[in-house]
Every structure is written in C-alpha cells, then in structure tokens.
Amino acid sequence: MISAKSQREIETMRQAGKIVALAREAVAAAIRPGVTTKQLDRIAEKVIRDLGASPSFKGYGGFPASICTSVNSVLVHGIPDQTVLKDGDIISIDIGACFQGYHGDAAWTYAVGNVSEEALRLMEIARCALFTGLEQVKAGNRCSDISHAIGTFVEANGGSVPIDYTGHGIGTQLHEEPAIPNFGPAGRGILLKKGMTLAIEPMVHAGKPHTRVLADDWTVVTKDGSLAAHYEHTVVVTDEGYEILTINPDKEEDAVYGQAGCH
Ligand code: MG
C-alpha cells in the first residue's frame, strides 16, 4: 500500500529537500580539478548536520559515506575517497538528507573544468530526461507513464538506461514503494495520487545499458566503460502536476532547478 503524505509530512519533506539543495549547492561550488571526492563528502555532511539533519546514505546498507560520488563511467554509488578530480571529468553527486524522520534525495551530474562534447551531450540528455519524466507526474497518471517517458526520450537521443536501477517512493524510508524504472510501457503500475512523494532519477549511459558492480560491492560502473550521468529530484504529486521538494525555496531560480533548456 502506497500512502499519500499528509500536509504536515509534506512540509517536513520540504525542509529535508531544502537541506539536500543547500548541500548540493555547497558541493557544486567546490567541484574543480584538484579536489578529492572525500572533500566533497565532508562539505555535504557538514551542511546537512549543521542544518539539523543526518545524511540518509551514511550507514544505509553499510554505505560508508554521506554522499555518492560517481566519476565518469561510474553510474551510481561511487564511494568518496582520495580520488582527485581532474579537468575533463564528469561527476554525479547523489545526496540524501533525513530531517525529523523524513528523507529528501537528489542527484546531479557536473562537469569538472572543460569536458568533451560527448560528455556535455550526455549530461543534457539525462538532465532533460528528468524533466520529461516529471511531466508525467500528476494525479491520475500511472507510475509507468513516468518510466515510459524517460525511456523513450533517452533512446530517441541515442543514450541507454540501465535496467537494474530505478527511482522510488520516498518518505520515512529512503526507498519506499513503488519502484520507478526508467524504461517500459506506459499505463502500468499504481495510479498516482495527490500527496505521494517520489524520487525520479534517470540514469543514462552514453553506451550500452549493461552495468557491473566493483569489488567494493557498491560502485556501479557501465560494463562497456562509457560515460554515465544521473539526475534526480524528490517531488510530491499534486492535482495539476508536481512540486519539486529538493530545491531551496528562498532562491527563485531554484524553483525549477536544472530545467533550463529542457521543457
Ligand atoms: Mg534515489
């Protein structure tokens, strides 16, 4: 049973989402050649804790850090370490924060210095896939309408999506029902209802869709070594559409964070 959240719960999730957005902003400002992924992890954790929340990922299933830092062919779940970012890398930053028992979850891919045309194009496809999927979020639509929109958009633009990693419901648990794949037919799955809270997260490969997990049991890479990008917002379903929760509402330009040039 997937429950809609109450107004009080949604308000708490807005606060969790704002903390995620502020951590994202701090990390984004620190991304440059020469910085280590561990330094980015410390920056995010400090923002999250200073604002009275805790990092959702730390200890989740034994994950050893506060954020996921996934560089180049790493799709998701990269562990922050002494890896030094260099000019031309791309890095996906996935951040979760738990505030008063409710989670926010968001991811974004960033260019480190000057990156290739191929990397820029991949990032654009994955970013716009997020907003293409979000267009299907409204009360009365089916869950797989989101999946279908993302999958067809990515395929039409020459990318591929992994089959084994999905978006998800979110609330008092980081991962709740339903799973929201990034591909598949429309018109299936649960009916979306006002107040449901979802993390929509297209992951896109420049090459083939296959993945493998490294020996650390976390780091997911593209099997063919191609670049990967990952964009995610936590949203609440409304009658008309959706409201993005993983933004800073005090910044006007954050209201549609990342949507420029898409839909
Ligand atoms: Mg997520």
Pairing of strands 197-200, 233-237: antiparallel
Q: Note the pLDDT tens digit of each residue in 180-208.
A: 999 999 999 999 999 999 999 999 999 99
pTM greater than 0.95:
yes
Spacing, Cα 215 to ligand 1 middle (Å): 22
d(CA 137, CA 141): 7
Spacing, Cα 201 to ligand 1 middle (Å): 6
d(CA 12, CA 18): 10
Spacing, Cα 233 to ligand 1 middle (Å): 8
Q: Note the pLDDT tens digit of each residue in 172-182.
A: 999 999 999 99
- Whether residue 139 contacts residue 192, with contact meaning beta carbons closer than 8 Å, is answered with yes
For 121, 160, 218, the CA distances from 189, given in Å and listed in that order, are 31, 22, 29
d(CA 31, CA 239): 38
